[in-house]
Amino acid sequence: MKKLLVASIALSGWMISFSQTPEEIWQDGLNKFHEKDFHGSIMRMNELLKIIPEFSYAHYNRGIARLNLGDMDGACIDMSRAVVLGLDKDTKFFEYMCQDGAKYKGLKKHFYRDEEIYPENGYRPRYTRKDSLRGALRPERTCFDVYFYDLTVRINTRKKRIAGENRIHFEVVEPASLIQIDLFPEFSIDGILWEGDRLNYTREFGAVFISFPRQLNAGEKHMLTFQYSGKPGIAERPPWRGGFVWKKDKKRKLWAGVACEHLGASSWWPNKDHLTERPDSMKINLEVPSKYKCVSNGTQGNIVETGRKYARYEWFVNYPINNYNVTFYLGNYVSFTDTAIVEGKPLVLHYEVLPYDLEKAKEHFTQTRDIVEFYSHAYGKYPFMKDGFRLVESPYEGMEHQTAIAYGHRFENAAFEECDSLKYDYIIVHEAAHEWWGNSLCAADMADIWLHEGFATYAELMYLEHSCSKEAYTRELNEKLKMIFNFWPVVENYNVNENSFASNDVYNKGAVILHCLRCNINNDPLFFSLIRDFNLEYRFQAVTSRDFIDFVSRKTGEDYAPFFNKYLYDTKLPVLSYSFTREDGHIRLTYQWTEVEDGFKMPFCIRTNDGRAVRLVGTTMEQATAIDNAEWFNFYNEWQELQGVADNSYTYYRTKWIE
């Protein structure tokens, strides 16, 4: 609960004709606030401001009372007025809560440091042909389907350069003589070969347009060999600002890897770089100095000496894989294994760690078994049984590389007061969930990336509820809720490879949306089966937000489009408009959802002065209810203690008191 500011000035000198002095009204308002009778506190501050209109502390404290009721707009008006009147305390809190400019500065610094963003474009960059070449499904991309990559890359660790070739196997979908393959412009193209001939090509930004000497007809299968070399970019802040990572471990030995989600897999190997294009399977050959071990996706095959102190590590991926998930880890690794049981069958859990962390990892990674088994129950059988599950110690915090998850969290567990003995490393819990959400079921566009991150973040909450308690789930949910910016919609611009990670709302708000959906459905077996069935129905497919919206509506028999349209495509939250009267110890509450589409409904929860939690379901139609034996009430929200909240009633919204 946000604290009040207590004035140090005397109020008793004001001459009034009311039955109480300003000092008495002020103190009574403070007392009501501390009792959590926020409506009563507002009423007292209203009285005081009629007497002393320019009393900044009263404006501020009324604003904090409104904030605790969930009235953000009213709170910001009051806090702004207090600042204008000279209040100079707690202004950073006011700026963060109420000024888009303050949010803009922080988000620009962390997410758009090297790009200008423009208010007229929703504080996004001005998109150009470069963005559509990268993010859109253009005819030069849709005319063919890649079903197999055979990638070989030699990593020169001394010069930090790479050279390789990719044999791209594809089937023609529509007749074409020109196709687009993607590769960052800093790489040289050493040759593109097809049926023994060198093909002509042109380059535009990161797009390579390859011309064939004849028209390729629908149904034909072809293979072209794309040879290239160059120096890949170095990651500034992996995995969010991606690229190659070159480090030294504690023993001064080389430790390297790559993370390139959003940046694009074409930042280090040539491919059809779009989320919808996943090969059915893939071969990954990595040639590295033979004194190091090289780990990649899928199952490890041969290790072949290639001369001049190099060895080729051969890996094979048996399933569809997102291009950005293709990775490598190079280092002085040692291995150990564990086994999870998935639907009665063993799943080998492989671990690759640095030697000095081996014993620590053996203890710390024991939690992985329960995590994988829980997700296999919650979302359906582990999707990549043939390739196994692997955690690889990495020189950056984490990344969900398919069957080769990057782990760099220093073997730290979070603490939960509800479960003191719980082992809970959020990197393992979150990144393992991506094997279902992102690696199996995949978003069709960066605009829909909440289908990866929101679902994986909600998986953290589901696992916490499973392994600890609903109270721990709710507490952690509330922490994530407080980190939501609502600066950009969760789903915004398609076909431009948008930086949808900006603000991290795709994680936190995405998870809160799923929680609110659970509250709306108010039938946990139905909700959890819906999430599981969605994953199973779209396994190994690319999906959109609309696919999920339609799926929910179909499974529940209700139209959930108004609910999702508000939370996914709008930055403003639903507003619960309400009024109330009090008489003889009873409250009559009138309420309805506003600033939403017709058909929107959602529960909310109020708390009475004696600690009772009352779950109510609002719609866009005005409703009224009687609350017996209650002197006052408030709303369960992110500013309140959540103890005692009714099940499936704690939702995310704002309020407006019609006084």
> Is residue 438 assigned to a domain?
no
Q: Coil, strand, or helix at residue 442? A: strand
Alpha-carbon span 530 to 378, nearest angstrom: 10
The predicted structure's pLDDT at residue 15: 38
Domain presence at residue 452 = no
Say if residue 325 is in the same domain as residue 208. yes
- The reply to whether 327 and 355 lie within a common domain is no
pLDDT in tens, 518-568: 999 999 999 999 999 999 999 999 999 999 999 999 999 999 999 999 999
Residue 89 pLDDT: 77
pTM of the model: 0.96
- The domain boundary residue, chosen from 332, 361, 393: 332
Task: Determine contact, residues 365/389, Cβ cutoff 8 Å.
Answer: no
Instruction: Please state, in angstroms and rounded to a whole number, the distance separating the CA atoms of residues 330 and 542.
Output: 30
Are 180 and 294 within one domain?
yes
Residue 587 lies in a domain: yes
Q: Are residues 81 and 191 in the same domain?
A: no
Q: Is residue 306 part of a domain?
A: yes
Q: Are residues 76 and 172 in the same domain?
A: no
Per-residue model confidence as pLDDT tens digits over 376-385: 999 999 999 9
pLDDT, tens only, 467-515: 999 999 999 999 999 999 999 999 999 999 999 999 999 999 999 999 9
Given 429, 457, 473, the domain boundary residue is: 429
pLDDT at 9: 39
- Cα–Cα distance, 296 to 149 (Å, whole number): 15
For all residues of the chain together, what is the average pLDDT? 95
Question: Which of 269, 299, 332 is the last residue in one of the domains?
Answer: 332
Closest Cα to residue 158, out of 258, 66, 231, 58? 231
Q: Is there a single domain that holds both residue 391 and residue 294?
A: no
Task: Tell whether 166 and 278 lie within a shared domain.
Answer: yes
Pairing of strands 602-608, 633-635: antiparallel
Say if 326 falls within a structural domain: yes
Domain of residue 48, CATH code = 1.25.40.10
Say if residue 262 is in the same domain as residue 411: no
Residue 232 in domain: yes
- Residue 295 sits in a domain of what CATH number? 2.60.40.1730
pLDDT recorded at residue 99: 87
Q: How confident is the model at residue 13 (pLDDT cuts 50, 70, 90)?
A: very low
Q: Do 328 and 294 contact (CB within 8 A), yes or no?
A: yes
Asked if residue 284 and residue 169 are part of one domain, the reply reads yes
Mean pLDDT over 313-323 rounds to: 98
Percent of the chain clearing pLDDT 70 (strictly above):
97
- Residues 155, 287 within the same domain: yes
CA 192 centroid distance within chain:
38
The verdict on residue 649 lying in a domain is yes
Instruction: Inform me whether the pLDDT recorded for 187 exceeds 50.
Output: yes
Q: Check which CATH number belongs to the domain holding 414 and give it.
A: 3.30.2010.30
CATH number of the domain encompassing residue 581:
2.60.40
Using left for φ > 0, alpha for ψ between -120 and 50, and beta otherwise, residue 376 falls in alpha
Q: Please name every residue paired with 184 in a beta bridge, in sequence order, or none if there are none.
A: none
Q: Are residues 254 and 340 in the same domain?
A: no
279, 183: one domain: yes
pLDDT one-digit tens code per residue, 105-164:
889 988 998 889 999 999 999 999 999 999 999 999 999 999 999 999 999 999 999 999
For residue 566, tell me if it sits in a domain. Answer: no
For residue 32, give its domain range: 22-98
- Residue 8 is predicted with a pLDDT of 40
Structural domain total, the chain:
4
